[in-house]
Structure formats: C-alpha cells, structure tokens
Amino acid sequence: MKSSAPGKIILFGEHAVVYSRPALAAPIRQARVEAEVLDSDSPGLWLDAPLINFHGELSALPADHPISRVFSDLFQRLSLSAPPDLRVSIKSDLPVAAGLGSGAAVSVALLRALSEFLHQPLPVEQVNQMTFEIEKLYHGSPSGIDNAVIAYDMPVYFIKGKPIETFACAKPFTLVVADTGVPAPTKESVGGVRRLWLRDTNRFEALFDEIAQISTMARHFIETGRPEALGELMNQNHEFLQEMTVSSAELDALVATARKAGALGAKLSGGGRGGNMIALTNQAQAQSVAQALTSAGAVRTLITEIC
C-alpha cells in the first residue's frame, strides 16, 4: 500500500495567520513524500526512513519522535491493542526543516498508507487533525495551515479555528522557490513576533489587518485567473514582513535579485529570518530567475507550477 503527500508553500499571510488573519498556501506537487506499507515476514514493525537516517525497528526511535507519534496515535485511534508486524518505508524529495512542510507531509503520507493498509482509511479531516497534533511536536503552537494544505492537497484559504476553505485556480502560475540556506526555526520567529506584538499591539494589529487584505485580494486574483497581479501583492506583503522584523539580509538580497532578474514580485515565505523566499515569474523566465538566485547565494532552487 502506497500513499503520498505534497510539500507546501505559504503564498501570503504567514505570521498574521497566527493572529487569526487569513493566509493562503498551496501544495507543491513536484516535491512529495511517499510512504509504503508492506507485510513483514519477521516479527515487529520495521521502518526505513532515509530522511531521518533511520533503518530499524520502530521501537528504537524515541517514543516522542514525531514519526513514532504518527504510529502510536494511529494505533490508538484504530484501537489496536498491539502494533502489527509491518515493513514501512518513507521516501521524500522534500528537504527537511526548510519550510516546505516535510514534517506534515511525512505524517499525512504515513497516516494514509497505514490506515488504508489496515483497512480503516481515515477521512481527510481526521488526517488533518491528527497531523496538526503531531505538528505541535515540531513547531510548538502552529496555526494549522501546513497540515491543512498538505492533507487537502489543494490551495487553502486558512483562518485559524475556522473550517478549512479550499479553492481552485482559474489559471496556473509559476513560482521559483529559493532557500537562503540559513536555518531558522519557525518557533523562534513566531516567538519574536509575539514579543513585539505584546510591546506594540496596536501597530502589529494594524500590520496584520493590512496583510489580511492582501491575502483576500490574492485569493480573488487566483480564482479569477489574474495570477500576474499577485506580484505586486507579494512585494507589499514582503514589506510588511520586513516591518515585523521577520526578513533578513539574505532574504532581502534574494528578493531583490529575483525582481531584478524579471520576477513579477517576490517575498519571503514561511517563518522567515532565513529559510525560503518565493518569486512569481512567467514560465519562460523561471529558469533564468532561478539561475540568478543561485548566483546570489541560494543553496537550492525549485521551480513549481501552482495549481
């Protein structure tokens, strides 16, 4: 039994989403995680997971490791008294801890493959909820946007605590994703914004309101087939993120490089202070924008078609 889940990118609204403003995210279909479950001829539950450098019996992985938790939460949910004898392999072309949702994609792919193998497939909302619980181990207090976009495998308009709204694009668009190579735990940038928000609540609330408008307009442009209009919105969203102190010299340099190389707009994506940026380009220019980003120091670039 095989199942796969996509990576994700946050298009608009990161950080503001933690304060109940809308954000948009989309799956990256070119980079996925695949989980395969097979009967095992030897007793025990065997896991092959090169992405965490683990090959062995699941019991050798700490019980509080997010991957162990996927298994234990699922077995509990399915009321299994003892873990079955299985062989499970996880393959991923998503980089780990790079803001592309690798952790959530592993959870979603595993939950699906395991529950289907055990003849009790989980509904998508249950996969989403269980992945959210496991995301807390990676990120502390996530908004829930990553698990939603990956579990639903559709663009989402996400407001914390509200039912998930997926939406369709009228016209696909091309993004170049570039990684600064600077590790930046989302937990820390979220904590940093919280401290500033506590000190200067009115200013931050106003910034979040501006970003909320951008996310709402962006959804409209995507749904009505005007993705080129997203470029200007990306530039504006990036400025607000700079004001919130979650950009960095490396992110700003890549954003400037992408614009100079002909991108229609660019912004950081995700937690910020490192990690990834995204640039909107015409399909024909994507390669040259990616090359310019590599020359400017990006450690990895990925060209992806959204929708």
Within 124-183, the residues that bind ligand PMV by CB under 6 A are: 142-143, 145-146
Query: CB of residue 189 vs ligand PMV: minimum separation in angstroms?
Result: 6
- CA neighbor of 255 nearest in space, from 212, 289, 213, 303: 289
Q: Which pair of tokens denotes residue 110?
A: 């595993």
Within 185-204, the residues that bind ligand PMV by CB under 6 A are: 186, 190
Query: CB of residue 203 vs ligand PMV: minimum separation in angstroms?
Result: 18
Which x/- pattern over 15-54 shows residues binding ligand PMV (rule: CB under 6 A)? x-xx------------------------------------
CA-to-CA distance for 35 and 105, rounded, in angstroms?
A: 10
Checking DSSP bridges between strand 165-166 and strand 156-158, what pairing results, if any? antiparallel
Query: CB of residue 103 vs ligand PMV: minimum separation in angstroms?
Result: 9
Q: Can you give the length of the chain in residues?
A: 307
Residue 28: beta bridge partners?
A: 7
Active-site entry in 146, 153, 179, 200: 146
Q: Of 13-21, 42-50, 79-87, 124-132, which part binds ligand PMV (CB under 6 A)?
A: 13-21
Q: What are the strands, taking DSSP E only, across 143-232?
A: 156-158, 165-166, 173-179
Amino acid, single-letter form, for residue 209: D
Q: Does 274 bind ligand PMV (CB under 6 A)?
A: no
Pick from 7, 22, 271, 274 the residue near ligand PMV by CB under 6 A.
271
Which x/- pattern over 91-130 shows residues binding ligand PMV (rule: CB under 6 A)? --------x-------------------------------
CA-to-CA distance for 55 and 36, rounded, in angstroms?
A: 14
Placement of tokens 């694009």 in the chain: 169
> Is 146 noted as a catalytic residue in this protein?
yes
Q: Does 207 bind ligand PMV (CB under 6 A)?
A: no
Residue partners of 167: CB distance under 8 A and separation at least 6: 154, 155, 156, 157, 219, 222, 223
Query: CB of residue 120 vs ligand PMV: minimum separation in angstroms?
Result: 29
Say if residues 213 and 177 touch (Cβ distance below 8 Å). no
Say if residues 271 and 140 touch (Cβ distance below 8 Å). no
Query: CB of residue 45 vs ligand PMV: minimum separation in angstroms?
Result: 29
Catalytic (active-site) positions:
146
Which residues would be at the binding site for ligand PMV (CB under 6 A)?
10, 14-15, 17-18, 99, 142-143, 145-146, 186, 190, 270-271
